[in-house]
Structure 1
Amino acid sequence: MTGPFEVGPSPWIGPPLTEDMVRRAEETLGVRLPRSYVELMYRQNGGVLKNSCYPTSFRTSWAADHFGVDVIMGIGYEEGVDAQSANLISEWDYPKVGVVLGVTPAAGPDTVMLDYSESGPGGEPAVVYVDEDKVPRRIADSFGEFMNGLVSCEAYEDDDEDQ
């Protein structure tokens, strides 16, 4: 079984994850990171996604039925969630619902976040898409569900040409 990330060097891949890095990140962020996310980061600490489109039941700034997400940020390095999330929330005026997790092709006006607004900081966060309107829209009940929902963008190539 192959992992969800592209193979090869990338500035989005952090150093091998340690328990201390996870602990420090959770302290910095003020939340418990989802175990499924942490387990994936132990396999590879962030990276560029192979399947980088996520289907939606609502229109996005990308398309009528999906959006793109290129990168899942890792933990404990310059491009990690603990170093970048608060800055991105401030810079782009994202809702203060949790942690910025994904980098979209536009790299700013929209994003993917872990949403702790219902679960609280120690619970299992939902995953939300935040579009240019800054409204968080739930796309998955968990990080694992989000990762399982990613599809190849080739599925949408014909649709994109029609728009």
Structure 2
Amino acid sequence: MAQHVFAEEQHSMYDAPPLDEELIRDAEQALGVRLPRAYLDALRERNGGVLARQSYRVDFTSDWGDGSVTVEALLGIGGRWGVDVMSRYLVEEWEYPPGIVVCMLPSGGHDTVMLDYSECGPHGEPAVVYVGEDRLPRRIAEDFQSFLDGLN
């Protein structure tokens, strides 16, 4: 990766244990999906944490109201804030649509950016979608690497 995905700070509440193949396998089994390679590559840099670049331009009015969506953190695997724990909880708690894996958290509110497996199935390459207060998924990137590349 040319740019670092995570902010320079060393510790945040989103930190997870050191990433290994067992954690990845357990998370994929718990979530029922194959996680995208670009997501796992980012987690190999640091297993969860605050993103260095947090804004993504969109062609619709988001809950942020300015033609962008903001994400604060990328969830790692394992630990209190791991994607394997938080995604299932958030999908149920916030009544997100099926086929979604919540892997990022916004800086506030119930909107977020997620992996959408609804078209590709659990072993395909998921699109990245934004879901706002209206709970309607809006595709913002074809895949996770494209999403990372578009962050400002």
Q: Compute the TM-score of the two structures, normalised by the length of structure 2.
A: 0.95
**More deviation, 62-71/133-142:** 62-71
Work out the CA distance in 2 between the residues paired with 1:79 and 1:127: 20
* 5+ residue gaps, structure 1: 152-163
Alignment partner, residue 158 of structure 1:
none
For 2:96, what is the secondary structure of its paired residue?
coil
Partner of 2:34: 32
Larger radius of gyration: 1
Instruction: Give TM-score, length-normalised by structure 1.
Output: 0.88
Does the CA contact (< 8 Å) of 2:55 and 2:151 recur in 1? yes
Q: Aligned-pair RMSD on alpha carbons? A: 1.1
Q: The residue matched to 2:103 in structure 1 has which SS?
A: strand
Where is the helix percentage greater, Structure 1 or Structure 2?
Answer: 1
What does 1:5-44 align with in structure 2 at a 5 Å threshold? Answer: 5-7=6-8, 8-44=10-46
Q: Counterpart of 2:77 in structure 1: which amino acid?
A: I
- Local SS of the residue matching 1:58: coil
What does residue 110 of structure 2 align with? Answer: 109
Structure 1 stretches of 4+ moved >2 Å: none
Match for residue 140 of structure 2?
139
Give the distance between the partners of 2:84 and 2:72, measured in 1 at CA.
18
**Structure 1 residue 76 corresponds to structure 2 residue 78:** yes
SS at the partner of 2:5? Answer: coil
2:48, 2:76 within 8 Å by CA — same for their partners in 1? yes
Aligned positions of 1:86-125 closer than 5 A = 86-106=88-108, 108-125=109-126
> What SS does the aligned partner of 1:39 have?
helix
Alignment of 1:54-73 (within 5 A): 54-73=56-75
CA distance in 2, matches of 1:27, 1:80: 14
Give the letter aligned to residue 91 of structure 1: E
| Structure 2 Cα separation of the partners of residues 26 and 147 of structure 1 | 21
Q: How many corresponding residue pairs?
A: 150
Structure 2 residue runs of 5 or longer lacking an equivalent are: none
Task: Give, in angstroms, the shift of residue 135 of structure 1.
Answer: 0.3
CA distance in 1, matches of 2:60, 2:27: 32
